[in-house]
A and B are shown apart, each in its own frame.
Chain A
Amino acid sequence: MPAPIRLRELIRTIRTARTQAEEREMIQKECAAIRSSFREEDNTYRCRNVAKLLYMHMLGYPAHFGQLECLKLIASQKFTDKRIGYLGAMLLLDERQDVHLLMTNCIKNDLNHSTQYVQGLALCTLGCMGSSEMCRDLAGEVEKLLKTSNSYLRKKAALCAVHVIRKVPELMEMFLPATKNLLSEKNHGVLHTSVVLLTEMCERSPDMLLHFRKVWLLVPQLVRILKNLIMSGYSPEHDVSGISDPFLQVRILRLLRILGRSDDDSSEAMNDILAQVATNTETSKNVGNAILYETVLTIMDIKSESGLRVLAINILGRFLLNNDKNIRYVALTSLLKTVQTDHNAVQRHRSTIVDCLKDLDVSIKRRAMELSFALVNGNNIRGMMKELLYFLDSCDPEFKADCASGVFLAAEKYAPSKRWHIDTIMRVLTTAGSYVRDDSVPNLIQLITNSVEMHAYTVQRLYKALLDDISQQPLVQVSSWCIGEYGDLLVSGQCEEEEPIQVTEDEVLDVLEGLLVSNLSTPVTRGYSLTAIMKLSTRFSSVNRIKKVVSIYGSSIDVELQQRAVEYNALFKKYDHMRSALLERMPIMEKTASNGPTEIVQTNGETEPSVPDTKLPPLITQPANQANDLLDLLGGNDVVPVIQTTLPTKPASAGGELLDLLGDLSLSGGPAPAPSVPISQPPFLLDGLSSQPLFNDISAAIPPMTAYNKNGLKIEFTFERANPNPNIAVITIHATNTTEADMTEFVFQAAVPKTFQLQLLSPSSNIVPALNQGSVTQVIRVLNPQKQQLRMRVKLTYTHKGSPVQDLAEVNNFPPQSWQ
């Protein structure tokens, strides 16, 4: 039988194959030859055949039939055979294979071989892929070799021990005595592997760690070794670009980190050497920076003194300016880890970090973005936001969702003014609108509702954005919701922040109807626009057009739209008397605790455009029917318009229906549940309907007061604090009538200065019975974030003995406890 072809010959042949099929053919032929050669138990050429098999295995072809042959090679006496045999074992015989354990005996013999290179092969194989059983069997041999004076074997034994400990942690103890003397070696290979072994032990066992710290006094030993490394002159053997054995330096620094963590004494002992390494290491090449990087990580992790920490952060700052991309990347990752603990120090490098947003490398951009968001605070919000919005415009789509969420979060926390906040949101919606997360729509709606004085400006800007582009669904949804709510402000051209635009009711309805029919709109968006159109029926005069649209969608295929349209139709027909009340302006929505730290957006630093004026302007009397008339009455801008839900309650059955219809209305923010709206609405209604007894126990804390007493009508205020927010005062009014005639169609309205926000819930009834036979109660909630003195202007209208009566009064005698 001819000798099997040589390895190089085979490789050359296979490389000449021009197609995959050709290659496969060659390989199959060779495999067949190899298989028959194995069957013949040919000792001479086994090595060559297995080598060829390993080559074919690397190309991706199966080689399992060579596993046993590897074992035979390992058992052979020839060094060549052993070399290939062990290589084959490492490639083909991992611990999942059945024949794996058969190696154990061979390895045991070879660990005791007379030739160190054979011992080395055995240690290498065991340390690379030995299974737990094998490790258990052979740990003793490894431990023996750890104590030998042969440094070639000692270093391999140390790393083999690391593997044994990883596989069988219980065996750690047995290596302890042998490890003790390892650090006194001069040989760098042994030193390096010993440090690795010690690191592994410390990481796995806190007891071991303590033992090393206290008993072995490991820290001073390591400090000494490190010092010698740095101070010693040029050593050609271990030099890398002028630095002596960087691999060993880095491993020592890493072990020091573990030893110094949460231990003051150890940390102090290493302070000097860390400072020395940090200042003296050459930074022109990657190798020096690798050492500095490890030093910085160590300084930040142990209990280092503040001077050292500042030094570390400055090193990172210098890294950021380095031309080498890798170093910039590493700096950003490290700064991200330290930004929580050393915030101020990192802030100093903010401008460099922001510049990294413009880097071409994707990994660097992402790190820079995360770090930028971590650095945003009340002082730098304007500048940072400009950069971040610019980044949002130009970044890859994979970043846009995260960036948009980050912008919203930062804006919510640190917005300097409401107008700025709304402008920022608009910018995000228009540039990255299709990437914002789903939950941002209800959050934004809540924010807009609560920025009361910005309504006109907001709706105008959103309307203009809608005219430009209706493809970005979150933008469209928020816009249509706002137009539905504040459409009247839009057509009346009331905007004070910027030039008001001239828009007619028909134009607005055109836009909203356009959304309903457009292919770009999702079903959710269509729901928003239908509800918006419906709401405009109480704000616009073109009710007929709206009626028509609503009735058309009563037969829509989309079940959600159909249901809405049918219910709105019912509102037009059977429940028309409720329509105006149901479609009133939304009240201030309280954020639930889980939603965010602030309830209402706080102004932060900057003053609002219109400074709150504590002096209320003179009254102008006018017949009042709509909520906004109180605004005109009191001279306009200085007073917050009342947001009230005046629903005269009918007997129980109607109240039930009311609840259902309103249940639907509260979800008009969109089928995707707005987290705060449904939660806050029903309790308010229930509060209004069931009134006082809930609060009686707390009311004793603040004394009640008489707010108004004229012509037989007396109105008393009782107070309690709302939970959880102490800035909200809950006032219950009790209206009683001492005259002999009932006061019917009683309506109570109130207005407060600009720094407050007020909400009126529904009254218990609109008839104040004569001769104190009963009372009308109503709940008012006042938000007083600045704890200013509470003042209120009230307007009362009722019919008494057939003639309408109207009166205005100021209430100034609030007890101090109600607003402090």
Chain B
Amino acid sequence: MHFLLLFSRQGKLRLQKWFTPVPEREKKKIVRDMTTMVLGRKPRSCNFLHWKDLKIVYKKYASLYFCCGLDAEENELLALEVLHRYVELLDKYFGNVCELDIIFNFEKAYFILDEFLLGGEVQETSKQVLSRSIEASDMLQEVCFGRSCLLSVLSIIFSVVL
């Protein structure tokens, strides 16, 4: 996979993941091209497109479009499954995920994606294993935060006491 983009019906970008080094200007152009092409498709068209030498696979989930760019040898039907799996992971994490969840918690959407795909390839095929890793990472964050909170509270108390 070369890239994965999420954008709304109005063409606003919600997530962008690039698996190959692309200059900033080029990234903007690709995003523009993808949004124009995908948003311009008729409602019941097939989910595959051709763009330059890449196969573009896209799927609409509620108000969000999930769009990825593949090499010629990659399996388009499987790519649809990959997109679907990612949506399932988001759904499990947020509980009935909607676009607003992804807008307000974009960094978490990235974290989940980074547990699922690495360098454009799937790294874990079990939903349960994945969810457990993300939970554990979140716990680590909490503990960390908790610890630093405790430290700052303690330092305030000491500074008051001393």
Contacts and interface: CB of A to CB of B under 8 A. Distances in A.
Interface of A: 7-8, 11-12, 15, 44, 51, 54-55, 58-60, 78-80, 83-84, 87, 90-91, 94-96, 115, 117, 120, 123-124, 127-129, 131, 152, 155-156, 159-160, 162-163, 188-189, 192-193, 196, 236-238, 240, 245-248, 250, 254, 286-287, 289-290, 293-294, 297, 325-330, 360-364
A124 B134 CA distance: 14
Interface string B109-122: 01100100011011
Interface string B70-103: 0001011110111001000000000000000001
A31 B128 CA distance: 40
B48 A363 contact: yes
A334 B122 CA distance: 24
Contacts of A156: 118, 123
Contact of B103 (A11, A189, A237): A11
Contacts of B9: none
B46 A361 contact: yes
Nearest to B55: A333
Contacts of A78: 144, 148
B123 A247 contact: no
Contacts of A59: 13
Contacts of B129: 189, 237
Contacts of A162: 119, 121
Interface string B8-49: 000001111011011100001000000000000010111111
With a 10 A CB-CB cut-off, give which of A51, A60, A293, A326 has the most chain B CB atoms: A326
Contacts of A91: 16
With a 10 A CB-CB cut-off, give which of B46, B85, B119, B126 has the most chain A CB atoms: B119
B107 A51 contact: yes
A250 to B, nearest CB: 5
A160 B23 contact: no
Interface string B135-162: 0110011001100100010000000000
B111 A83 contact: yes
B110 A247 contact: no
A60 B119 contact: no
Nearest to B46: A325
Interface residues of B, number: 54
Contact of B121 (A12, A196, A236, A362): A196
A240 B81 contact: yes
A286 B114 CA distance: 25
Contact of A237 (B15, B16, B126): B126
A96 to B, nearest CB: 6
Contacts of A7: 107
B121 A83 contact: no
Contact of B123 (A54, A155, A325, A360): A155
16 contacts: A79-B137, A79-B140, A96-B21, A115-B140, A120-B133, A128-B118, A128-B119, A159-B119, A162-B121, A188-B125, A193-B121, A286-B81, A326-B48, A361-B44, A363-B45, A364-B46
Contact of B104 (A11, A54, A79, A196): A11
Nearest to B127: A237
Nearest to B147: A78
Interface of B: 13-16, 18-19, 21-23, 28, 42, 44-50, 73, 75-78, 80-82, 85, 103-104, 106-107, 110-111, 114, 118-119, 121-129, 133, 136-137, 140-141, 144-145, 148, 152
A80 B108 CA distance: 12
A83 B112 CA distance: 12
A361 B119 contact: no
Contacts of A286: 77, 80-81
Contacts of A163: 119
Contact of A326 (B22, B47, B106, B136): B47
Nearest to B59: A326
Given A78-B148, A156-B123, A326-B46, 12 more contacts: A51-B107, A79-B137, A83-B107, A94-B22, A117-B133, A117-B140, A124-B114, A155-B124, A163-B119, A192-B124, A329-B48, A330-B77
Contacts of A84: 107
A160 B119 contact: yes
A83 B137 contact: yes
B136 A247 contact: no
B156 to A, nearest CB: 13
Nearest to B129: A189
A250 B141 contact: no
A238 B137 contact: no
Contacts of A11: 103-104
A193 B84 CA distance: 20
Contacts of A245: 125
A287 B110 contact: no
Closest 10 CB pairs of A and B: A290-B77, A325-B46, A159-B118, A189-B124, A237-B126, A290-B78, A79-B144, A127-B119, A163-B119, A329-B46
Given A51-B107, A290-B78, A237 B23 contact: no
Nearest to A292: B77
Contacts of A54: 106-107
Given A163-B119, A193-B123, A95 B144 contact: no
Given A87-B107, A87-B110, A156-B118, A58 B13 contact: yes
A159 B126 contact: no
A58 B141 contact: no
B125 A80 contact: no
Contacts of A328: 46
A196 B123 CA distance: 10
A286 B103 CA distance: 29
A329 B77 CA distance: 10
A665 to B, nearest CB: 47
A134 B145 CA distance: 31
Contacts of A327: 77
Nearest to A167: B21
B17 to A, nearest CB: 8
